[in-house]
Amino acid sequence: MTSLPIVDPHMHLWDFTRQHYSWLMDRPLPSNAAGNVEPIAKPYGLSEYLADTAGFDVRGVVHVEAGASTAHSLAETQWLQGVADEGRLPMALVAFAALNDPDVEKLLAAHAEHGAVRGIRHIINWHSDPARTYSARDVIGDADWQRGYALLAKYGLSFDLQIYPSQMAVAAELAARHPDIPVILNHAGMPTDQDEDGLALWRKGLALLAAQPNVAIKISGLAMIDRQWTVDSLRPFVLHAIDAFGTDRAMFASNFPVDKLYGGFGAHYAAYDAITADFIDAERRAMFAGNAARLYRLAVTL
């Protein structure tokens, strides 16, 4: 178990009495590219997260929008701002906005009024396999989506980028055109296609994104793809992500409680600890906490 300070830059909370999460609440549960979510289809608040992370030195967290219905996205931010204001744990927020919505600027402005909000996530993973796609079609190249993306700079918001490797080339071009928008690639770029062509596309995509100095990467969520994972099976993916982005733009995240489907908080962080055992202390401290605190502007003592 790592004794290093942790800033967890990707976690979720949900309260079924406040928002509707169709992926967790509809019956029967919809199919999900992350697997069978039945074990986590129940309320999960900060107390549950603190119980899951007991024994670890978690100094702060970044809550990433948790798939509440579009109509409830601002309500989710309002609720989570209240959780952050309680002061139990330093917390930054990444809110939801559909960037291709013609009225998205109103929502961005409303989110930005909340002091804990740092960025926006709009999941746009598209895959030709219906079992793996999150989006009905690939919107990243659409003019209306890119107009919404460009508005993030006006409100001082970063973007949490959740895509598949086939979309990375366009994403890298977009990041290059908007160097004033910080981009954080989610879940190590989600290398869902594990054949050689798929992995080559992932490696190429990471290189294109990493070439943009405004792009960083969160290493998490690999268990959604490798559900029988071991330290050795994760090792090449973790090390390649770090090699591509460097230790100053890579960070470890829990993706809890989603990654709880495939192991406890301790198991995931022990894997990251073991994989980086040969790194120098300053690099490890950056990836476990410092980079997340800096990139999400989270005031914590490390």
The answer to whether residue 98 is domain-embedded is yes
For residue 31, the model assigns a pLDDT of 87
Structure tokens at 160: 């949490």
CATH number of the domain within which 80 lies = 3.20.20.140
- Amino acid letter for position 14: W
64 has which bridge partners? Answer: 94
The answer to whether residue 46 is domain-embedded is yes
Number of domain units in the chain: 1
162-191: average pLDDT: 98
Look at the pTM and tell me if it is higher than 0.85.
yes
Q: What is the pLDDT of residues 205-231, one digit of tens each?
A: 999 999 999 999 999 999 999 999 999
Report which secondary-structure segment, H or E, holds 62.
strand 58-64
Q: What is the pLDDT of residues 251-300, one digit of tens each?
A: 999 999 999 999 999 999 999 999 999 999 999 999 999 999 999 999 99
The answer to whether residue 168 is domain-embedded is yes
Residues 6+ apart with CB under 8 A from 274: 231
Asked whether 177 and 205 are in contact (CB, 8 A), the reply is: no
Measured CA to CA, the distance from residue 276 to residue 68 in angstroms comes to 35
At residue 1, does pLDDT exceed 70?
Answer: no
Query: pLDDT over 70 for what percent of the chain?
Result: 100
The answer to whether residue 302 is domain-embedded is no
Question: Using alpha carbons only, how large is the chain's radius of gyration in Å?
Answer: 18
Tell me what percent of the chain is helix, strand and coil, each rounded to the nearest 5.
45, 15, 40
The answer to whether residue 1 is domain-embedded is no
Distance of CA 192 to the CA centre of its chain: 16
Q: Name which of 297, 302, 267, 296 is nearest 281 in CA terms.
A: 302
Measured CA to CA, the distance from residue 198 to residue 283 in angstroms comes to 29
Name the strands in the sheet holding 215-219, side by side, starting at the edge strand that comes first in the sequence.
6-11, 58-64, 91-96, 117-121, 158-161, 183-185, 215-219, 250-252
Q: What is the pLDDT of residues 76-85, one digit of tens each?
A: 999 999 999 9
The answer to whether residue 301 is domain-embedded is no
> Could you write out the three-class secondary structure of 146-180?
HHHHHHHHHHCCEEEECCCHHHHHHHHHHHHHCCC
135-153: average pLDDT: 95
Q: What is the pLDDT of residues 99-137, one digit of tens each?
A: 999 999 999 999 999 999 999 999 999 998 888 878 888
Instruction: Give me the domain span that covers residue 201.
Output: 6-295
